[in-house]
Structure 1
């Protein structure tokens, strides 16, 4: 009984000493988290009104949010009675150890900063990087997210993006669609070019400037191959690509121009 009373008294003393600090710390955290949320929300509105680039908005908001949260945690810990100076030293030592262990993540962060400064691509751009083709969905602190033509989400580290080759198909606003159409050697080249060019000029998604072109590409083994090259907006690429092949086939058939294909010849031997 005496030991139980001693433990109870000890618990009451701890509650009296640390209870108010703990409650205050919890209150500070709740209020601080609410304030941080309001600050981030307000900053987002200000950036939107100032017409900041969307990718830069997300990056800066993530940075501000995490920085304020770390600051809030330090305040809460100091309110619990922990020496902030000692805590800062521990954080610094831990930060060094974590930094050495997470060099890749730090390089990704640095890569994200470089991407924000030089802006090789923006949200909504069609790009090709690290062997992936897709539309930029988001540029975050450590990674860039792309949505591929197959509607797959590709997450690529910013360090690799900043240090690798990037092809941006959206920046110039125009893309060339490269297709090859072959016709028989007996067909009239001039007439074939006219038929193929008409297919391109009648497609509303094919741009007038630069003008589409049709030229003899090569004299292959069994066909004369034409380079059929329309220009279009990046978002219309696949529509124009598939339509070009389909409409060229229909137009050539209608004009009586043969598209060569392998023929099987039967050889009859006399007995």
Structure 2
């Protein structure tokens, strides 16, 4: 009698849930195949967009985990398990974690955007958040800069992704703008000739781009020149310091007199 009752109960369960279980198994198999395909498509997309190889596996794994959670919740619903409580718990946990780590999440999101869209790359000279330096590394949460005086600056990616960034070396070539002043008693031609000699002798100046030497201001006792020299981004400071030192030497060789003290103060404030 007990065996007959057991058989009846098993049959009732198989009748009630058999179709749902078969459907859940099919949904699992099909869902896993779709998730695998989506993961492959995402990997191909990131490869095509040249997303940083260090972040590709992380993004792929994150998407696959999220899709698998959604698949399991869907299968639970097909079988007849109430999923609203699970969704509520997951939502509450996600909200709590998000509030606790909102700064880190903002930096993470900023890092992903920087790695995908690449407003700058490792080795670029950039100016951001009041700092100027060469990008040593782009990490998930931070960007590491090395300043010209060899200081390491760590900037959060969240603020970098939402604020202006000057990529100084983004084009590969850069113009070095400098201001020089000399006494007006020397004459424009004499001063220009001295400046021209220095610029043409600069080994890091790009010869095919030419250079500019303009008179920008005339006063009673001084003549001000803008000197603009094109160079490679990597040799910006080499060019800057070479020209300044060279001008000092050439002015001495050519006996180019400096402005009077009052005008010299004006010149220094304009540098």
TM range (shorter): 0.5 to 0.7
Q: CA deviation at 1:241?
A: 0.9
**Alpha-carbon distance between aligned partners in 2 of 1:256 and 1:139, rounded to the nearest angstrom:** 50
2:126 alignment partner in structure 1: 127
1:204 alignment partner in structure 2: 203
1:116 alignment partner in structure 2: 115
Stretches of structure 1 that go unaligned for 5 or more consecutive residues are: 1-46, 70-84, 264-271
Contact 1:178 1:227 in 2 (8 A): yes
Stretches of structure 2 that go unaligned for 5 or more consecutive residues are: 1-43, 66-82, 263-271
Find the residue that maps to 1:252 and give its secondary structure.
helix
Aligned counterpart in structure 2 of residue 59 of structure 1, from 43, 48, 55: 55
Q: CA deviation at 1:220?
A: 3.9
Find the residue that maps to 1:172 and give its secondary structure.
coil
So what's the TM-score if we normalise by structure 1? 0.64
**Alpha-carbon distance between aligned partners in 2 of 1:116 and 1:196, rounded to the nearest angstrom:** 43
1:165 alignment partner in structure 2: 164
Q: CA deviation at 1:51?
A: 11
Find the residue that maps to 1:163 and give its secondary structure.
coil
Find the residue that maps to 2:54 and give its secondary structure.
helix
* Deviant stretches of 4+, over 3 Å: 50-53, 61-69, 85-95
CA-to-aligned-CA distance 1:67-116 (integer Å, 9 cap, x gap): 999xxxxxxxxxxxxxxx99998666433211112222222222122212
Contact 1:126 1:169 in 2 (8 A): yes
Contact 2:177 2:227 in 1 (8 A): yes
Find the residue that maps to 1:177 and give its secondary structure.
strand
Q: CA deviation at 1:222?
A: 3.2
1:207-246 alignment, distance < 5 Å: 207-220=206-219, 222-246=221-245
Q: CA deviation at 1:230?
A: 1.0
Q: CA deviation at 1:166?
A: 0.7
1:90-109 alignment, distance < 5 Å: 93-109=92-108
So what's the TM-score if we normalise by structure 2? 0.64
**Alpha-carbon distance between aligned partners in 2 of 1:109 and 1:229, rounded to the nearest angstrom:** 40
**Alpha-carbon distance between aligned partners in 2 of 1:119 and 1:221, rounded to the nearest angstrom:** 50
1:138 alignment partner in structure 2: 137
Q: CA deviation at 1:121?
A: 0.5
**Alpha-carbon distance between aligned partners in 1 of 2:231 and 2:260, rounded to the nearest angstrom:** 30
Q: CA deviation at 1:199?
A: 0.8
Q: CA deviation at 1:225?
A: 0.9
Q: CA deviation at 1:249?
A: 1.4
Q: CA deviation at 1:246?
A: 1.0
Q: State the aligned residue count.
A: 201
Tell me, yes or no, if structure 1 residue 188 matches structure 2 residue 187: yes
